Amino acid sequence: MTTPQRPHVVVVGAGFAGLACVRALARSPVDITLIDRRNYHLFQPLLYQVATAALSPADIAWPIRSIVARQPNVRVEMARVSGVDAERRTVVTEDGRWIAYDQLVLATGARHSYFGRDDWESVAPGLKKIADATAIRERVLLAFERAETEPDPFEQRRLLTFAVIGAGPTGVEMAGALAELARHALSKDFRSIDPQRARVVLIEAGARVLPSFPSRLSLKASQALERLGVEIRLGQPVTRCDADGVTVGDDRIPARSVVWAAGVVASPAARWLDAMHDRAGRVAVTDGLAVPGRPEIFVIGDTALANRPGGRPVPGIAPAAKQMGTYVGQVIDRRVRGQKPPPPFQYRHQGDMATVGRKAAVAVLGGVQLSGPLAWLMWALVHVYFLIGWRSRLLVSVNWLWSYLTFDRGARLITMEPEAVPPPRREVRSDAA
């Protein structure tokens, strides 16, 4: 490692927040090291479409290096950070390197939270990484394959039952996409089973789906889901989750495929910094998005607990992460130039959107509530627009248009080695509901 002559900014995490920060520093007299443990930036809002075989991973993920290739003050390192030595202003990587910084930006995102039931993770995988999405895709497709040759009707039914836990945008979109996969894409492919009879159950502990949306749109979304055949269970939390199904209150739902969309916890940045954090692990930051007492360390995106006027936290969504990243880039730029800092960070909420299957969506944009095909079209346009690069926009548009016209799903691949696929769990019958 050469010692940079200009201030050295280390950005950990190349998600929406980290990339926005790097971009805001494009013309700044700094040297940036962007560290991520993966080599790609992921457009997480469309990950459920990979999990349901509509898109390929490469449609929604781009090599970090090529995104910043034309920004000469950035160096990218693929490494896993294991700690921060704030006294020595050094980031430590798992492969044993020490990287000194002048300004540090932690944008390491969030992962699933199982509310203390970490044993549920292997049974009910969440949806954060590409490997999660392809694993869920394989589990779902294998369930149909196994059902086709399963002689026991009870086990066949259990294989064809898909439970989604959590009815925020990810859970709603996942449930809708699963129902469409079964009802349209797979409808003619099997001989022994009828995929249209697959059961998709969406489970939410709260009182309605999409709790962050206006209640009128929650109702619209519920109706659209029910039209697709999704069963919605509200008001009761999951109390048990194992290889044979889930228990909601006193009710047992036998299911071989369970997807977790219920909660997230921030990455371990708070532990690295020994900093104040909330129950979800988010680091409490100042109104300048820095760690209190450490003005050279910023925490942004899903890892940060930033408060809006009135005390509500800034939500953990992509536009908020981008705004935080851009803001911190400005703070650092002004600081290294010796200018006075910008005013405190102010989050501007642009809206919320969620799609339900092929033609329906709900959206709140600038105070206007939309639902139905028009909201779907807007959802599609917004998402295509925010993809990186024309190649992805073109490929995703082609794939969507194709699916829209033909109901087909192109990416229905089980690519894991058969050896690596968990064996059929036919023996386990003890809990039969």
Active centre residues (catalytic): 173
Residue 318: C-alpha distances to residues 43, 65, 77, 144, 157 (Å): 9, 21, 23, 33, 38
Structure tokens belonging to residue 367: 């105070």
Part in contact with a copy of itself (CB under 8 A); list of ranges 233-241, 291-299, 370-378, 417-425: 417-425
Q: How far apart are CA 99 and CA 91, in angstroms?
A: 5
Q: In angstroms, rounded to a whole number, what is the distance separating the alpha carbons of residues 158 and 430? A: 14
What are the residues facing 369 on neighbouring strands?
A: 364
Instruction: Return the bridge partners of 104, or none.
Output: 10, 297
Cα distance between residue 271 and residue 280, in whole Å: 12
Q: What is the DSSP string of 254-311?
A: E-SEEEE-S-EEE-THHHHHT--B-TT-PEE--TTSEETTEEEEEE-GGGEE-BPTTS
Site string for a copy of itself, 250-269 (x = CB under 8 A): --------------------
- Distance (Å, whole) CA 335 – CA 167: 42
Least CB distance from residue 318 to a copy of itself, whole Å? 20
According to the binding rule CB under 8 A, does residue 226 interact with a copy of itself?
A: no
148 binds a copy of itself (CB under 8 A): yes
CB of 205 to a copy of itself, least distance (A): 30
Residue 369 in contact with a copy of itself, rule: CB under 8 A: no
Task: Select 181 or 291, whichever has its Cβ closest to a copy of itself.
Answer: 181
Shortest Cβ 410–a copy of itself spacing (Å): 5
Closest to a copy of itself by CB, 116 vs 423, is 423
Of 207, 377, 381, 394, the one binding a copy of itself (CB under 8 A) is: 394
Site mask for a copy of itself (CB under 8 A), range 22-61, x = bound? ---------------xxxx---------------xxxx-x
Of residues 51 and 305, the one with the C-beta less far from a copy of itself: 51
The reply on whether position 414 binds a copy of itself by CB under 8 A is: yes
Shortest distance, CB of residue 67 to a copy of itself, whole angstroms? 10
Q: What's the closest the beta carbon of residue 58 comes to a copy of itself, in angstroms?
A: 4
Inter-helix orientation angle 16-24/318-336, to 10°: 30
List beta partners, residue 354: 362
- In which element (H, E) is residue 31 found? strand 31-36
Q: What stretch of H or E contains 30?
A: none
**DSSP string over 196-228:** GG-EEEEEESSSSSSTTS-HHHHHHHHHHHHHT
How many residues line the site for a copy of itself (CB under 8 A)?
A: 56
Give the residue, chosen from 134, 267, 323, 371, that forms a contact with a copy of itself under the rule CB under 8 A: 134
Q: Is the dihedral of CA 108, 109, 111, 116 positive or negative?
A: positive
Span interacting with a copy of itself, options 67-75, 247-255, 278-286, 336-344, rule CB under 8 A: 67-75
Q: Which two tokens stand for residue 28?
A: 């700044």
Number of residues that make up the chain: 433
* Residue 410 is a binding residue for a copy of itself (CB under 8 A): yes
Binding residue (CB under 8 A) for a copy of itself from 4, 7, 63, 372: 63
Is residue 121 involved in binding a copy of itself (CB under 8 A)?
A: no
Using rule CB under 8 A, residue 398 touches a copy of itself: yes
Cβ closer to a copy of itself: 120 or 144?
A: 144
Smaller CB distance to a copy of itself: residue 413 or 433? 413
> Nearest distance from residue 402's CB to a copy of itself, in Å?
5
382 near a copy of itself (CB under 8 A): no
Asked if residues 136 and 259 have their Cβ atoms less than 8 Å apart, the reply is yes
Q: How far is the CB of 137 from a copy of itself (least distance, A)?
A: 10
Contact between 350 and 319 under an 8 Å Cβ cutoff? The reply is yes
Is residue 411 close enough to count as binding a copy of itself by CB under 8 A?
A: yes
With respect to a copy of itself, which residue has the nearer C-beta, 87 or 415?
415
- 232 and 222 Cβ atoms separated by less than 8 Å: yes
Q: Does 384 bind a copy of itself (CB under 8 A)?
A: no
Is 128 a binding residue for a copy of itself by CB under 8 A? The answer is no
d(CA 18, CA 77): 13
Contact 265, 112 (CB under 8 A): yes
Per the DSSP assignment, residues forming a β-bridge with 105 are 11, 298
Kindly state whether residue 305 participates in binding a copy of itself, applying the rule CB under 8 A: no
For binding to a copy of itself (CB under 8 A), which residues are involved? 37-40, 56-59, 61, 63, 65-66, 69-70, 75-80, 95, 97, 129-131, 134, 141-142, 145, 148-149, 186, 188-192, 391-392, 394-395, 398-399, 402, 406, 408, 410-418, 424
